[in-house]
Structure 1
């Protein structure tokens, strides 16, 4: 798919999502001609190809009238019938099978409240829906899928809905008139009581005779004293060294003698044990 065509398709999908509330996963309603085109051109898997076209996950639907129409067409459309039977079935309240275009027109309606995309190869049916319904249309072109650009009717419908959202309704106008009248009456000191549904809580904070405020005030969590653990006193380091213990002159198992060397430093010498020599002389 070329980059320009892909950008144009994404722009079309964004138009319907923003203006008319289409959401993922997108629901695609397929008629018999669209299913037959997918099967004959071997565009499989269909849900993956359509999701790449729309830029999001999709769910494929059909109706019982479409299945009945494919069944009447005979063996040439047997593979298309099997593929259509694997799709989810959208509810159509028809006891007897109707032509596919009439059935799909009734399921979609003018406002398309179910937010369906429609896949069809019928050019006349697509032109009819572009003039009277809010339906994004898909169709196959050779081995690729395309999406029709929004029609003039759909763009005008989007602009009208935007104007309605920006303008006030009659109920909002009446509410505004009552609110302005209440504000003017309170500013003049008349204090006329309005209906309870229009009565707003007092905003001015003042003290009454009991010394209690009209509205609660919440205490702010202000910084308190410093953390005592972070302000611990430094430990004093003693400069005086510990007195060294005097070495013992001799020990029971072989004492040690302390001598002073030429430099005046104390030098320890180990006294040899004579037990080994005495034992050798006896033997």
Structure 2
């Protein structure tokens, strides 16, 4: 039985988290009847007990009107008054004290903007919050706490909200049309630029001698052409005339006599002495 209850609670928490945006730590708004029941049945500490059924950390709130109502009930509720004072006070902005049910109803509002879990033992208040979408209700039976399953109204509202999120609003549709026009205009401009570039490319192909002033993207290199021969290499060599070549090996002296150019070999004394000694022997 306890396992089934935990599964039901986890399913309900996932529903409120996914469809209504509840986030941890969960905020629980208590009235005087719920605080009194916790103390009377020994369900303490309250934050631990509530965290166990929700499966996450919690923050417990109450209002100033709820505390004042408990104080007005007499000394028998003094423990409940002290416990309510230790809770976080939610802002209700009531100058005069109101009924606790009316105060909590105003704090919750039409769509529960603060994402409160309402904890109460008032049957009429629980039934009323079942008709308001996005308001989970917690109640107690003896020493056990329960989270009510989402009602048919809450399921229907969540389905309608999901269908609304899947479709575009009028503002989103207008923004999409404006963006589409911009994209179409840009594509048309790009197509015109491509056509112009293609036409210029064809004109360049038709001309045999393209204009040299047109700047090309590619680097152009000068072609090396054959040059003429080096003029210095083509110059004729001068023939040197030797003045002594006409006489050959003969040379003339100053007085006109012919002198033979060939010279006699001078032998050294050592060679002469060797030859004489060899002849004498």
**TM-score class, shorter:** 0.5 to 0.7
Aligned CA distance change for structure 1 residues 176 and 210 (closer, same or farther; 3 Å): farther
Residue 26 of structure 1, CA deviation: 0.7
- Find the counterpart in structure 2 of residue 55 from structure 1: 55
2:34 corresponds to which residue?
34
Higher helix share: 2
- Residue ranges of structure 1 left out of the alignment (5+ in a row): 193-208, 213-283
1:15-30 equivalences under 5 Å are 15-30=15-30
Aligned with 1:29: secondary structure? strand
In 1, Cα distance between equivalents of 2:75 and 2:16: 38
2-side partners of 1:210 and 1:11: how far apart? Answer: 71
TM-score (norm 2): 0.65
Whether 1:89 aligns to 2:89 is yes
Residues 123-162 of structure 1: pairs in structure 2 closer than 5 A = 123-162=123-162
SS, match of residue 131 in structure 2: helix
Give yes or no for the alignment of 1:67 onto 2:67. Answer: yes
- State how far apart, in whole Å, the 2-side matches of 1:20 and 1:64 are: 27
Shift of 1:120: 0.1
Paired residues in the alignment total: 196
Q: In structure 2, what is the Cα distance between the partners aligned to 1:85 and 1:187? A: 67
RMSD value, Cα: 2.1
Cα separation, 1, equivalents of 2:217 and 2:86: 76
* Whole-angstrom CA distance in 1 between matches of 2:115 and 2:183: 44
User: What's the TM-score once normalised by structure 1's chain length?
Assistant: 0.65
Structure whose alpha-carbon radius of gyration is higher? 2
For residues 163-200 of structure 1, give each alpha carbon's deviation from its aligned partner in whole angstroms, at most 9, with x where no partner exists: 121111112212222333344445455879xxxxxxxx
C-alpha contact (below 8 Å) 2:131/2:153 kept by paired residues: yes
SS at match of 1:132: coil
Find the aligned partners of 2:63 and 2:179 in 1 and give their Cα distance: 52
- Measured at CA, do residues 210 and 98 of structure 1 come closer, stay the same or move farther in structure 2, by a change above 3 Å? farther
Distance 1:106 1:45 in 2: 28
**Greater shift after overlay, 110-119 or 172-181?**
172-181
Query: Deviation per CA, 1:78-116, whole angstroms, max 9, x where unpaired?
Result: 111111111111111001000000100111111111111
- The separation in 1 between residues aligned to 2:217 and 2:124, in whole angstroms, is 80
Deviations 1:211-241 (A, max 9, x none): 59xxxxxxxxxxxxxxxxxxxxxxxxxxxxx
Relative contact order (C-alpha < 8 Å, sep 6+): which is higher?
2
Partner of 2:267: none
8 Å Cα contact 1:63/1:92 also seen in 2: yes
Q: Distance in 1 between matches of 2:13 and 2:163?
A: 22
- CA distance in structure 2 between the aligned counterparts of 1:126 and 1:113, rounded to whole angstroms: 18
1:33 shift after superposition: 0.3
Contact 1:185–1:191 (CA under 8 A) maintained in structure 2: no
Report SS of the residue matched to 2:174: helix
- Corresponding residue for residue 105 of structure 1: 105
| Structure 2 residue aligned with 1:246 | none
- How far 1:43 sits from its partner (Å)? 0.5
Equivalent position of 2:167 in the other structure: 167
Aligned to 2:207: none
Distance 1:178 1:4, change over 3 A: same
